[in-house]
Amino acid sequence: MVSQSDALLSAAEGFVPMLRDRANEIEQARQVPQDIAESFAQAGFYSVMVPEVYGGLELDPPTFLKLIRTLARGDSSAAWCTMIGATTGLGSAYMPRADAEEIFGGGKRTITSGVFAPTGKALPEGDHYRVSGRWQWGSGSRNAAWISGGCFVMKDGKPEMSDTGVPISRMMMVPAGEVTLLDTWDVSGLCGTGSTDFEMKDVLVPKARAVAFGYDTPMERPLYVFPLFALLASGIASVSLGIARSAIDELVGFASAKTPQGTLKPLAKRPDTQIGVARAEALVRSAQSWMDDTFSDAWEAAQTKGVISVDQRRDMRLSMAHATTASAQAVDIAYDLGGGTSVYKRSSLQRHFRDVHVATQHMMVAKGVLEQAGRLFLGLETDTRLF
């Protein structure tokens, strides 16, 4: 019998040729076409973090990494939107059953999107919050039926605070029809993610649909022991690794046929090409292996102990930041070795170059992660609630 994990990975692999064929269409549209998003939804990709009790797949994190990497080999924007939608679905494990059932239950394959950054404000109003705000990086929002935005809950002009004196961010999930999408996504890379700004103005949101990750108590299942940011950052790193794999494969694919100007040897027979490909492979394989190892260790702890240690969370986050950086370095090598070929749109190397360097800018894999990891290695006091 084929396992659920194997079936999902097989389905993702089946989408790769189609995604490569439609990569230019996705980029030019500046969003994932709705038919692709719906196909992904029916395959279960957006439901991998939703509890099984609601008809979701409740996928193990190590398989999630492989799923996103596979899709990214086909098209990085499509993979990016999938990981954003999937991680937004984690909110279902924090909501009261009735609300989770309404949005995700009964086998629905709901497409969600969301932005954690708390750039909105929520005012308590009975059993609701009145929400207003504007959010950037709304990846996949044009495909979504439900959209979330991070908010500070305001009282007497001040935000709700945690016991450590840090403002608490709550993700407000609302129907897409109550959100205004703005045409702001004009960027260098990951063009097809449709990561446009969006707004909410005086939207009433039931308090049951306002989730504070890291503070509210989720359903008691191993998957929900994982910190939200670890799962989100893993998706960014996995997209980057998928991009790097495609870049290396493309270079190898034309290296034997291309003879650079001013030389008599094909690209593949030049020592600098051979050294570069070897370095790129080492970067990608070692980074991917370390990330897989940290997630496997954490998943075993979540299943057997019901808790992931600070050291394990540190190693996961550091491995993701490293994987993203290593992927960009590998893509740079492939792009440079490709020479003039790399700049033509007929070669996807130029898109891989642009896409991976947008991924490196995400705060979930940026220098702040290294700083926190370094503090932990040095034994310094560090707030790890959301790490």
CATH for 83: 1.10.540.10
CA geometry: angle 361, 365, 368, nearest 5 deg: 95
The pLDDT score that the predictor gives to residue 261 is 64
pTM over 0.85: yes
Residues 256 and 180 in one domain: no
| End residue of a domain, out of 146, 176, 211 | 211
Q: Taking the CA atoms of the chain, what radius of gyration do you get in angstroms?
A: 21
| Separation of alpha carbons 79 and 74, rounded Å | 8
Residue 191 DSSP one-character state: G
What residues form DSSP beta bridges with 180? 199
Q: What is the CATH number of the domain that holds 129?
A: 2.40.110.10
Mean pLDDT for 95-103 is: 95
Shared domain check, 117 and 88: no
Reduce the DSSP state of residue 289 to 3 states and report it: helix
Whole-number Å distance between alpha carbons of 58 and 52? 6
Q: Do 118 and 197 reside in the same domain of the chain?
A: yes
pLDDT score recorded for residue 188? 95
Of 64, 97, 130, which residue sits at a domain end? Answer: 97
- Structure-token pair, residue 94: 């924090």
Same domain, residue pair 322 and 234:
yes
Give the pLDDT mean for 62-89: 98
Q: Long-range pairs for 312-317 at CB < 8 Å and ≥24 separation? A: 313/227, 313/230, 313/384, 313/387, 314/372, 314/373, 314/376, 314/377, 314/384, 314/387, 316/230, 316/234, 316/291, 317/229, 317/230, 317/233, 317/369, 317/372, 317/373, 317/387
Domain that holds residue 260: 226-377
Structural domains of the chain, count: 3
Q: Is residue 172 over pLDDT 90?
A: yes
In this model, does residue 180 exceed pLDDT 80? yes
Buried-state track 159-171, b at ≥16 Cβ within 10 A, e below 16: bbeeeeeeebbbb
Does residue 327 share a domain with residue 244? yes
pLDDT (mean) for 189-193: 98
Question: Tell me: the pLDDT tens digits for 304-349?
Answer: 999 999 999 999 999 999 999 999 999 999 999 999 889 998 889 9
Q: What percent of the chain has pLDDT over 90?
A: 85
Could you write out the DSSP letters of every residue in 84-104?
A: HHHHHGGGGGTS-HHHHHHHH
Are residues 245 and 344 located together in one domain of the fold? yes
Same domain, 201 and 232: no
Q: Do the Cβ atoms of 323 and 239 come closer than 8 Å?
A: no
Same domain, yes or no, for 205 and 257? no
Is 262 a residue whose pLDDT tops 70?
A: no
State which H helix or E strand residue 138 sits in. Answer: strand 128-138
pLDDT digit string (tens) for 17-31?
999 999 999 999 999
pLDDT value of residue 163: 79
Can you tell me the distance from the alpha carbon of 316 to that of 373, in angstroms, rounded to the nearest whole number? 10
Residue 141 zone, left/alpha/beta (φ > 0; ψ -120 to 50; rest)? alpha
Mean pLDDT across 214-236: 93
Question: Which residue, of 211, 234, 255, is where some domain finishes?
Answer: 211
Which pair of structure tokens corresponds to residue 77?
A: 């924007």
Specify the pLDDT at position 345.
Answer: 86
259 and 367 within one domain = yes
The torsion region of residue 157 among left (phi > 0), alpha (psi -120 to 50) and beta comes to left
Residues of the chain with pLDDT > 70: what percent? Answer: 98
